[in-house]
Chains A and B, each alone.
Chain A
Amino acid sequence: MTLAAKHQVADVTTAQTRSATYDLQKIRADFPILHQRVNDRPLVYLDNAATTQKPRLVIDAITRYYESGNANIHRGVHYLSQHATQEYEACRETVRWFLNAADASEIVFVRGATEGINLVAQTLGRTRVQSGDEVLITAMEHHSNIVPWQILCGEKGATLRVAPINDAGELILDEFVRLLGPRTKIVAVPHVSNALGTINPLHRIVELAHRHNAAIVVDGAQSVPHLSVDVRGLDCDFYVFSGHKVYGPTGIGVLYGKAALLDAMPPYQGGGDMIRSVTFEKTTYNKTPYKFEAGTPDISGVIALGAAINYVNELGLDRIEIHEQDLLRYATESLSAIPGVRLIGTAKEKTSVLSFVMDGIHPHDIGTILDEEGIAIRTGHHCAQPLMDRFGVPATARASFGLYNTREEVNTLVKGIERVREVLA
């Protein structure tokens, strides 16, 4: 049998196994936005690391809430308010279960991963980090896991340390260990890099941080859509993610924190709902997690996030992972075969993110030409400028795959990249 023929047989076999367990056409039918044409071509949406599209049931959850369930929570005796409160708190339980947290009170609703990190920096950070202390991050951070710590360190006279990465985009653990010390009060790392897709060895990182009595904050924005997360298994102190990257709406996210830590932390914002009693002289705060949820929250966002998590769960993150890893392998092979294309981020453990550059062609031009073909990718520095500097590139083009992407879409991307070469040659 020729190699090509063998390859074909293998392809058919995988396709059959896949379709038995993972019905892509049915899944794609759940996402209304995917069935449109952009620039007169069928939309090929490969910008999932920026935000994912929403299944019908998530959109419906928002409509249903405003059409028949809208009321403020935690304060009304009337039917609608009680019902809204129940739905809202049921979603907290859904998230608890999703992250395998010990208790629903450890789930704080925030606007997104960014707000989650800022919350920890401004509460735990302000009480724990003092002059001369250190906060340790990595070279692969998104700006949202750099700037809040920079602000904190600036305020406190503390130092921000950065653990380096290798040419494949993997954390150099030996260097990371060397940077840990008695001064390290907080370690903040991404579970998965947004620009490279690198999956960090979180178990090991958490263990090392705890050995030095540092609190560990994990940016889970890019992991939650792709991997099942077990915060108790990981033993991390804080874990944040954004709803919109896991097929939920924008503007809602989650901060998980260990109960003992959350209980000891001062509040983040003051206002309604976060208090037990208020006089002009003194206020006593509500218990965790309400202490951190000042003001009327994004109730419909929470309810829709609950729907998104249920959707992902029904498909099964294990099956999603198999599908996305298949796409990643296929796309990595296909793009590597195009002359002049270089992949940035070649870690052994990766989620379905492909950052690449092309000889003599700026990513911005790649993005414009692919857009003409109906292909949506991200181009730029991916809010990770220090990482771009590390690789000596001003920007990259990034294709990122979600649970609904197909091998055919990878083929369209490859044709699009060939068109880029034609136009700009």
Chain B
Amino acid sequence: MPDLRELYQDVILEHSKAPRNYRELGAANRKAEGFNPLCGDRYIVYLDLDGDAVRDIAFQGSGCAISKASASLMTQSVKGKTRSQIEELFDDFHKIVTGETTIEDSASEVSKLSVFAGVSAYPVRVKCATLAWHTLRAALAGKGEPVSTE
């Protein structure tokens, strides 16, 4: 049986209770909405994009501990990064939450995100962990439509 503590690690709980960059971003020039119709989780990701790089990022919304902590940690890890760096980071993150990679073979960039490795034991929760990331990618792509996990 998977250990709940592996899923709800202290870092995750702490970020879910006190999410970082949790605000509306006045200077945002990109914005996207993400929605998980199955559980009702809903987030807005605001981006201040400077050319190809994320100058600033913030988010707002509601959802479970996993989705909120993931959004919070995501905003910290992508600030200052370019689109291609973010895509790479997302690929690694996705492999972590689906259990395709372990922390050992992850680059140091993603090591902070490895707190989400416990999610891989709970396949239905992968959507929670990736919701904010999908929303960020929609904001980067400049799509007006809200993204959905379904």
Chain A interfacial positions (CB closer than 8 Å to B): 39-40, 360-365, 368-369, 372, 379-381, 385, 388, 394-395, 423-424
- Contact digits for B33-45, partner A, Cβ 8 Å, 1 yes 0 no: 0000011111000
Q: Using known A-B contacts A364-B41, A380-B40, determine if residue A424 contacts B1 with beta carbons closer than 8 Å.
A: no
- What distance in Å separates the Cβ of B102 from its nearest Cβ neighbour in chain A? 22
Q: Using known A-B contacts A365-B64, A365-B65, A423-B4, determine if residue A388 contacts B125 with beta carbons closer than 8 Å.
A: no
The complex places the Cα of A394 from the Cα of B64 at a distance, in Å, of: 10
* Residue with the greatest number of chain B CB neighbours at <10 A, chosen from A369, A381, A394: A394
- Which residues of chain B are near A424, meaning CB under 8 Å? 8, 13, 65
- What distance in Å separates the Cβ of A84 from its nearest Cβ neighbour in chain B? 38
Q: Using known A-B contacts A362-B63, A364-B128, determine if residue A381 contacts B40 with beta carbons closer than 8 Å.
A: yes
The answer to whether B38 and A380 have CB atoms under 8 Å apart is yes
Does chain A have a CB within 8 A of B7? yes
Q: Using known A-B contacts A362-B64, A365-B64, determine if residue A394 contacts B41 with beta carbons closer than 8 Å.
A: yes
- Which residues of chain A are near B7, meaning CB under 8 Å? 368
The answer to whether B64 and A364 have CB atoms under 8 Å apart is yes
Given A368-B122, A394-B42, A424-B8, 6 additional A-B pairs, CB 8 A: A362-B68, A364-B66, A365-B64, A369-B4, A380-B38, A423-B8
- Which residues of chain A are near B149, meaning CB under 8 Å? none
The complex places the Cα of A368 from the Cα of B12 at a distance, in Å, of: 15
The answer to whether A394 and B8 have CB atoms under 8 Å apart is no
Does chain A have a CB within 8 A of B62? yes
From 1 to 21 in chain B, residues with beta carbon under 8 angstroms from any chain A beta carbon are: 1, 4-5, 7-8, 13, 17
- Contact digits for B109-147, partner A, Cβ 8 Å, 1 yes 0 no: 000000000000010010010000000000000000000
The complex places the Cα of A394 from the Cα of B40 at a distance, in Å, of: 6
The complex places the Cα of A395 from the Cα of B67 at a distance, in Å, of: 14
The complex places the Cα of A62 from the Cα of B7 at a distance, in Å, of: 41
Chain A, residue nearest B68 (CB): A362
The complex places the Cα of A402 from the Cα of B4 at a distance, in Å, of: 29
The complex places the Cα of A272 from the Cα of B106 at a distance, in Å, of: 60
Partner of A360, one of B17, B41, B66: B17
The answer to whether A372 and B4 have CB atoms under 8 Å apart is yes
The answer to whether A394 and B63 have CB atoms under 8 Å apart is yes
- What distance in Å separates the Cβ of B42 from its nearest Cβ neighbour in chain A? 7
The answer to whether B1 and A372 have CB atoms under 8 Å apart is yes
- What distance in Å separates the Cβ of B81 from its nearest Cβ neighbour in chain A? 28
From 49 to 91 in chain B, residues with beta carbon under 8 angstroms from any chain A beta carbon are: 62-66, 68
- Which residues of chain A are near B65, meaning CB under 8 Å? 361-362, 365, 424
- Which residues of chain A are near B39, meaning CB under 8 Å? 363-364, 379-381, 395
Interface residues on B, range: 20 to 34
Q: Using known A-B contacts A380-B38, A385-B40, determine if residue A423 contacts B125 with beta carbons closer than 8 Å.
A: no
Question: Can you name 7 A-B pairs with beta carbons within 8 Å?
Answer: A360-B17, A364-B41, A364-B64, A364-B66, A364-B128, A365-B66, A380-B40
* Residue with the greatest number of chain A CB neighbours at <10 A, chosen from B62, B64, B125, B128: B64
* Residue with the greatest number of chain B CB neighbours at <10 A, chosen from A364, A379, A388: A364
The answer to whether A368 and B125 have CB atoms under 8 Å apart is yes
Pairs of residues from A and B, 7 with the lowest C-beta to C-beta distance, nearest first: A364-B64, A362-B64, A381-B40, A395-B40, A394-B40, A394-B62, A380-B39
* Residue with the greatest number of chain B CB neighbours at <10 A, chosen from A368, A380, A385, A424: A368
Chain B, residue nearest A381 (CB): B40
- Which residues of chain A are near B4, meaning CB under 8 Å? 368-369, 372, 423
- Which residues of chain B are near A368, meaning CB under 8 Å? 4, 7, 122, 125
The complex places the Cα of A394 from the Cα of B41 at a distance, in Å, of: 7
* Residue with the greatest number of chain B CB neighbours at <10 A, chosen from A40, A365, A379, A394: A365
The complex places the Cα of A40 from the Cα of B2 at a distance, in Å, of: 11
- Which residues of chain A are near B63, meaning CB under 8 Å? 362, 364, 394
- What distance in Å separates the Cβ of A173 from its nearest Cβ neighbour in chain B? 29
- What distance in Å separates the Cβ of A128 from its nearest Cβ neighbour in chain B? 32
- What distance in Å separates the Cβ of B59 from its nearest Cβ neighbour in chain A? 15
- Which residues of chain B are near A361, meaning CB under 8 Å? 65
- What distance in Å separates the Cβ of A407 from its nearest Cβ neighbour in chain B? 26
- What distance in Å separates the Cβ of B8 from its nearest Cβ neighbour in chain A? 6
Chain B, residue nearest A40 (CB): B1
- Which residues of chain B are near A369, meaning CB under 8 Å? 4
- What distance in Å separates the Cβ of B5 from its nearest Cβ neighbour in chain A? 7
The complex places the Cα of A40 from the Cα of B7 at a distance, in Å, of: 18
Chain B, residue nearest A360 (CB): B17
Chain A, residue nearest B13 (CB): A424
- Which residues of chain B are near A40, meaning CB under 8 Å? 1
The answer to whether A39 and B8 have CB atoms under 8 Å apart is no
- What distance in Å separates the Cβ of A158 from its nearest Cβ neighbour in chain B? 27
- Which residues of chain B are near A385, meaning CB under 8 Å? 40
The complex places the Cα of A363 from the Cα of B38 at a distance, in Å, of: 12
The answer to whether A388 and B40 have CB atoms under 8 Å apart is yes
